[in-house]
Amino acid sequence: MFDYLKKSLLTGIGLALRSKDEIETLAKEFAEKSKMSQDETKEFLKDCQLKYEDARAGFDKKIEGTIEKILLKLDLPSKSDIKALNDRIDDLVEKLSDEK
């Protein structure tokens, strides 16, 4: 039962959406209520922090991927496209200035 509760606290997208402080507070409360030893509590907090970082990184990658897909569908020019156009305009302006 204890392991089941521990695992359920560490998993899910809710973990990624909570702040690091909230996760630490929940983990500390859980450790106190389950009467963990000091070593168990430290290990549990460490596990919570690692799971939080993993979940957050995974969530961030998914969000970035979704944004990239949306931008591709909108067919918006990229930064490099705009830079290339600006470079071409600068070249044309320079050529026109040289001809005068």
Q: pTM above the 0.85 mark?
A: no
Is the confidence at residue 1, as pLDDT, over 50? no
pLDDT, residue 91, reads: 96
**What's the first-to-final CA gap in the chain, in angstroms?**
85
pLDDT, residue 89, reads: 97
Number of H helices and number of E strands within the chain? Answer: 5, 0
How far CA 69 is from CA of 13, 66, 72, in Å, comes to: 21, 5, 5
pLDDT, residue 49, reads: 78
Tens-digit pLDDT profile for residues 60-98: 888 888 888 887 888 888 889 999 999 999 999 999 998
| Mean pLDDT rounded to a whole number for the chain | 78
More confident residue, 30 or 95: 95
Give percent of the chain above pLDDT 70.
79
Q: Cα(37)–Cα(56) distance, rounded to whole angstroms?
A: 28
Q: Cα(95)–Cα(5) distance, rounded to whole angstroms?
A: 71
pLDDT, residue 85, reads: 96
Q: Cα(62)–Cα(69) distance, rounded to whole angstroms?
A: 11
